């Protein structure tokens, strides 16, 4: 396969060429020499130099893929969370050492420059980060893929904690982040909203024209994605909205200045900001417009590319998979129908054949409040033609359902795409996609047994599982270089591309010197984090204490509250047993709450107040510390995770689709404290029950308890420890009133009391935590457990997930594979 070897800049990459490249960028963009440059200018020049190398490789990649003419995946997601790019790109391309050297020579420090890069925070959490991990793996595996998303001008808000309360500030990431984006004005397309459409017949086919619509320009900005040990470079295409005519001059000259400006501002508002909610569906027009904007621009782009290359839409399914990441890009389905029908005059049946063989769907939640549905009037006003197409899809689909379930109106009503007042996106996905998958074994089973049960009964062949995975090169090799060095030495470096080889570490699990080395590495990472914490929160923590970490979005179902209940239990226990020999523990939290999610914000405040109380009480603060780190994001996760020893994965069973933080912590040698939820179950399977702390009800037991009737008061009155900590919260913590928190646990406010069953799992959690503390006192065994967790983490590499998608769903081939 010689012709596909891509090698451009590589051969000529010497210290001298790199230096010239960087200095050339400095000179061209800032008109200065290294000695005159600020560190920020140097960061940008280095980023541009890396971008330059990526762009050359991208050029060669495009040519190689085009020559091969293989099927391609388009991964559509309203969220991506790449984090920082500079280190990742250098490390993937094996250029860190040479850049390090050259930058040193011209008077700067590479590690220092990394600090100038903002996170690309174009997502809320797990779903967006997963998309980025998958781009990394797909590229490393030389797979033909393009990501599509939105170029939000403001990414996920920056969190500041003021007096314990979360406040939000805009995330102006483009200032230093824009260097990673290449605008492609030549590939701009138009997206249309509102207006009316007319159908008419001519020459035996129906035509549709659309009038009085508002057009918005979609401008592509490409982020280049490198892979490890390959010169393949893929792209993540982010669409930015621009007014078609910057201001409507006709209006302007009629004297309607303000209205003219308003119109262009309204168009550009579409990609202004990421919606910071990942818990409920807000039913906002702007959100719908974002989704259609992404979908329409991407589908037009895909179709244009396909037609240029193959000339006919009939072959689209042979050459293309469009993957929709959760329901947010569902409108791909009617949009591709629209293009087939209205723009290419295909029949309904042919269009439907094309669409249903091209589109695949991943579900990431079973929580009913997060299932998307759109009110019909709002939808119809913004997207009248798309609505009409969905109506026809629905009509035909229901007709089919009546054949399966004659006379069962209720069932057909439940499965319909259009309900009494709204359009149900998940039902549209399942009806139209050729593949539907969940993100862990348990989650995929729950999909088949609950929300998609009736669909599963008539089309079981569509349903599969692909357990999530993480970019282990970022989360292990880059975030924890000392651990990675040790692995290189013990098992060789091949685990970077063959993560299953991590299992080789198991043979060292009993080796005292390896155990000690792991402990030393962990301690060094803990010291580093302790310094960060002292700098950023002014709290001094003991690096020798147990680092117990819960980092993830703040959600009631993730039960940060349960963690707090345990901390208060320890607090009271220490006060009661001042002489007891308890190993010191530091509880570390980081989490963003959706800005409108009151109970989540209250939980942050509660954690902050508990932290104040604990950290300032000399009777406990030698043994117990609590910190809440603000502004959790990819870059902060990369600092915290390598220092973690206990990984809190304590969601109510059945609620966490998979979790991916659990995998990142595991591969860094933290031991999971977890419920039998999401991928925790598979982690248990990978490491065995002696190397994990499992507690709490199973998903089945949760369901049984609901059915039987759950009364949290029984637990409250039945467990004196639990009563004591809840009474403590009820009486206020650090002078702040938390009666609403207590009410939500015992009385419920609008919802069932203790809707996530913290009280029911409290005792079992306390026992598991006690076991963890006991286990830690045998450090040799603890280190052994940690080693076995690292050894078992290979199956949670995104490379494995991607191979599952490639073989089971996408059926694509890598660039290097023989045909
Ligand atoms: C939907 C409609 C309107 C506004 C916002 C949303 C929205 C946005 C983001 C709904 C959900 C999300 C994000 C969901 C998410 O991150 N889910 C997580 O996905 C991970 C990757 O599969 C899993 O590991 C987690 O278990 C799951 O919670």
Reply yes or no on whether the pLDDT at 6 is more than 70: no
As a whole number of angstroms, the distance between CA 13 and CA 53 comes to 10
Q: Is 364 a catalytic residue?
A: yes
Share of the chain above pLDDT 70, in %: 97
Q: How far is the CA of 605 from the centre of ligand 1 (A)?
A: 24
Residue 552 annotated among the catalytic residues of the structure: yes
* Mean pLDDT across 232-247: 92
pLDDT for the residue numbered 818:
60
Q: Give the pLDDT score at 247.
A: 62
Separate counts of helices (H) and strands (E) for the chain? 34, 24
Residues of the chain with pLDDT > 90: what percent? 92
Give CA–CA dist 675/683, Å, rounded: 11
pLDDT value of residue 394: 98
Task: Kindly give the number of the ligand 1 atom that is closest to the alpha carbon of 282.
Answer: 3
pLDDT at 778: 98
Q: Ligand 1 centroid vs 742 CA: distance in angstroms?
A: 27
Higher model confidence: residue 251 or residue 72? 72
The catalytically annotated residue of 57, 385, 553, 655 is: 553
Grade residue 819 by pLDDT with cuts at 50, 70 and 90.
very low
Instruction: Pick from 75, 79, 121, 125 the residue to mutate for probing ligand 1's pocket: most ligand atoms within 8 Å of its CB.
Output: 125
- 3-state SS assignment for residue 711: coil
660 labelled catalytic: yes
- Residue 160, beta-bridge partner list: 167
- Ligand 1 nearest-atom number relative to CA 370: 10
Which one from 558, 566, 605, 655 is the annotated catalytic residue? 558
Ligand 1 centroid – CA 675 distance (Å): 20
- Tell me, what's the pLDDT at 476? 98
The pLDDT tens digits for 195-219 are 999 999 887 788 899 999 999 999 9
pLDDT tens by residue, 331-387: 999 999 999 999 999 999 999 999 999 999 999 998 888 889 999 999 999 999 999
Mean pLDDT, the chain, rounded, equals 95
313 CA from centroid of ligand 1 (Å) = 32
Which residue has the least CA distance to atom 15 on ligand 1?
127
Task: Pick from 79, 80, 81, 124 the residue to mutate for probing ligand 1's pocket: most ligand atoms within 8 Å of its CB.
Answer: 124
Ligand 1 binding pocket, CB closer than 6 Å = 124-127, 130, 275, 277-278, 281-282, 287, 364-365, 370, 372, 439, 468, 656-660, 678
48 alpha carbon to ligand 1 midpoint, in Å?
33
Q: What is the dihedral of CA 595, 599, 601, 605, to 10 degrees?
A: 170
The residue written with tokens 């047993």 in the block is 577
Ligand 1, atom 1, residue with closest C-alpha: 281
Mean pLDDT of 436-452: 97
pLDDT in tens, 628-686: 999 999 999 999 999 999 999 999 999 999 999 999 999 999 999 999 999 999 999 99
**Is 655 a residue of the active site?**
no
| Phi and psi, residue 626, nearest 5° | -135, 130
In the predicted structure, residue 518 carries a pLDDT above the cut 90: yes
Least confident residue range of 150-159, 247-256, 284-293, 617-626: 247-256
pLDDT of residue 5: 38
- Whether 795 shows a pLDDT value over 50: the answer reads yes
- Residue whose Cα lies nearest atom 9 of ligand 1: it is 278
d(CA 710, CA 483): 45
- Check residue 287 and give its pLDDT: 96
Q: Closest residue (by CA) to atom 10 of ligand 1? A: 278
The DSSP output letter for 651 is P
Average pLDDT over residues 314-341: 98
pLDDT at 568: 98
Q: Atom 13 of ligand 1 has which residue's CA nearest to it?
A: 278
At residue 246, the pLDDT reads: 62
pLDDT of residue 7 exceeding 50, the answer is no
> Which member of 87, 237, 289, 364 is catalytic?
364
Decide if pLDDT at 567 tops 50: yes
Instruction: Give 323's strand partners.
Output: 75, 360
Q: Find the 592 Cα to ligand 1 centroid distance in Å.
A: 14
For residue 4, pLDDT over 50 is answered with: no
pTM assigned to the model: 0.97
Q: How confident is the model at residue 8 (pLDDT cuts 50, 70, 90)?
A: very low
User: In ligand 1, which atom is closest to the CA atom of 656?
Assistant: 26
Q: What is the pLDDT of residues 569-582, one digit of tens each?
A: 999 999 999 999 99
Active-site position among 330, 660, 672, 675: 660
Dist CA 754 CA 752 (whole Å):
6
pLDDT at residue number 412? 98
pLDDT digits (tens, 9 = 90+) for 58-108: 999 999 999 999 999 999 999 999 999 999 999 999 999 999 999 999 999
How far is the CA of 200 from the CAs of 157, 209, 381, 383, 396, in angstroms?
48, 8, 21, 19, 21
The closest of 681, 686, 611 to 651, measured between CA atoms, is 681
Q: In whole angstroms, give the CA distance from residue 493 to residue 524.
A: 22
Q: How far apart, in whole angstroms, are the C-alpha atoms of residue 72 and residue 146? A: 8
Span from the CA of 365 to the centroid of ligand 1 (angstroms): 7
Q: Name the residue at shortest CA distance from atom 24 of ligand 1.
A: 659
315 is catalytic: no
Mutate-to-test residue for ligand 1 from 326, 329, 363, highest number of ligand atoms within 8 A of CB: 326
Whether 664 is a known active-site residue: answer: yes
b/e burial code for range 177-193 (CB count within 10 A of at least 16 → b)? bebbbbeeeebbbebeb
Residue 343 CA to ligand 1 center (angstroms) comes to 34
What tokens were used for 291? Answer: 């989704």
Residue-wise DSSP of 455-519: HHHH-GGGEEE----B-HIIIIIIT-HHHHHHHHHHH-GGGGT-GGGGGGGGGGTT-HHHHHHHH
CA of 651 to the centre of ligand 1 (A): 15
């Amino acid at each position: 396969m010689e012709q596909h070897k891509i090698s451009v800049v590589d051969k000529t990459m010497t210290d001298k060429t790199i230096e010239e490249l960087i200095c050339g960028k400095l000179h061209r963009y800032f008109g200065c020499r290294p000695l005159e440059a600020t560190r920020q200018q140097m960061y940008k020049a280095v980023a541009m130099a890396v971008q330059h190398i990526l762009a050359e490789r991208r050029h060669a990649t495009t040519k190689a893929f085009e020559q091969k003419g293989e099927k391609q995946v388009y991964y559509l997601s309203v969220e991506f969370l790449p984090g920082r790019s500079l280190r990742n790109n250098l490390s993937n391309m094996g250029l860190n050492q040479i850049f390090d050297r050259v930058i040193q020579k011209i008077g700067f420090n590479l590690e220092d420059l990394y600090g100038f890069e903002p996170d690309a925070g174009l997502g809320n959490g797990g779903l967006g980060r997963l998309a980025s991990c998958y781009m990394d793996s797909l590229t490393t595996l030389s797979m033909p893929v393009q990501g599509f998303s939105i170029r939000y001008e403001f990414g996920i808000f920056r969190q500041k904690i003021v007096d314990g309360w979360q406040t939000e500030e805009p995330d102006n990431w483009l200032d230093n982040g824009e260097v990673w984006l290449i605008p492609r004005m030549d590939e701009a397309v138009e997206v249309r909203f509102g207006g009316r459409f007319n159908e008419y017949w001519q020459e035996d086919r129906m035509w549709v024209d659309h009038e009085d619509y508002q057009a918005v320009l979609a401008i592509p900005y490409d982020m280049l994605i490198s892979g490890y040990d390959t010169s393949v470079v893929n792209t993540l295409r982010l669409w930015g909205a621009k007014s078609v005519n910057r201001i409507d001059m006709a209006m302007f000259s009629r004297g309607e200045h303000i209205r003219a400006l308003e119109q262009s501002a309204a168009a550009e508002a579409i990609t202004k900001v990421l919606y910071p909610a990942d818990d409920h569906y807000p039913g906002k027009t702007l959100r719908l417009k974002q989704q259609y904007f992404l979908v329409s621009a991407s589908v037009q782009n895909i179709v244009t590319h396909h037609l240029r290359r193959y000339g006919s839409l009939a072959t689209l399914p042979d050459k293309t998979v469009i993957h929709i990441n959760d329901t947010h890009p569902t409108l791909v389905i009617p949009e591709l129908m629209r293009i087939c029908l209205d723009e290419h005059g295909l029949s309904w049946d042919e269009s439907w054949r094309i669409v249903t063989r091209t589109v695949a769907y991943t579900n990431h939640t079973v929580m009913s409040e997060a299932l998307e549905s759109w009110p019909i009037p709002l939808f119809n006003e913004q997207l009248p033609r798309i609505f009409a197409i969905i109506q026809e899809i629905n009509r035909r689909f229901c007709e089919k359902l009546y054949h399966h379930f004659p006379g069962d109106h209720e069932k057909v009503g439940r499965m319909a795409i259009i309900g009494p007042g709204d359009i149900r996106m998940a039902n549209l996905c399942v009806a139209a996609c050729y593949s539907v998958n969940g993100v862990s074994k348990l989650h995929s089973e729950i999909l088949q047994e609950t929300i998609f049960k009736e669909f599963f009964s008539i089309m079981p062949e569509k349903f599969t599982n692909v357990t999530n995975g993480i970019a282990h090169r970022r989360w292990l090799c880059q975030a924890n270089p000392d651990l990675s060095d040790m692995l290189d030495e013990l098992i060789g470096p091949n685990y970077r591309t063959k993560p299953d080889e991590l299992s080789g570490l198991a043979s060292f699990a009993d080796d005292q010197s390896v155990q000690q080395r792991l402990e030393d590495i962990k301690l060094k990472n803990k010291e580093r984090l302790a310094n960060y914490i002292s700098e950023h929160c002014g709290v001094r923590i003991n690096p020798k204490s147990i680092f117990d970490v819960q980092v993830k979005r703040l959600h009631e179902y993730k039960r940060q509250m349960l963690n707090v209940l345990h901390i208060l239990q320890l607090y009271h226990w220490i006060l009661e047993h001042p002489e007891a020999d308890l190993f010191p523990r530091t509880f570390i939290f980081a989490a963003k709450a959706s800005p409108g999610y009151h109970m989540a914000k209250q939980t942050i405040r509660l954690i902050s107040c508990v932290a104040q109380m604990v950290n300032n009480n000399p009777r406990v603060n030698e043994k117990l510390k609590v910190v809440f780190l603000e502004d959790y994001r990819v870059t902060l996760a990369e600092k915290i995770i390598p220092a973690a020893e206990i990984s809190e994965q304590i969601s109510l069973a059945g609620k966490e689709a998979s979790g991916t933080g659990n995998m990142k912590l595991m591969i860094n040698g933290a031991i999971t404290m977890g419920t039998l939820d999401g991928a925790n179950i598979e982690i248990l399977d990978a490491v065995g029950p002696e190397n994990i702390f499992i507690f709490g009800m199973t998903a089945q037991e949760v369901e049984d308890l609901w059915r039987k009737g759950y009364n949290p008061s029984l637990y409250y009155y039945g467990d004196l420890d639990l009563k004591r900590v809840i009474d403590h919260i009820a009486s206020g913590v650090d002078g702040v009133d938390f009666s609403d928190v207590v009410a939500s646990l015992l009385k419920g406010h609008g919802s069932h009391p203790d809707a996530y069953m913290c009280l029911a799992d409290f005792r079992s959690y306390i026992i598991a935590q006690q076991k963890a503390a006991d286990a830690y006192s045998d450090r040799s065994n603890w280190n052994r457990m940690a080693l076995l967790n690292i050894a078992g983490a290979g199956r949670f590499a995104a490379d494995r997930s991607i191979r599952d998608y490639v073989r089971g769903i996408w059926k694509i081939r890598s660039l290097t594979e023989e045909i």
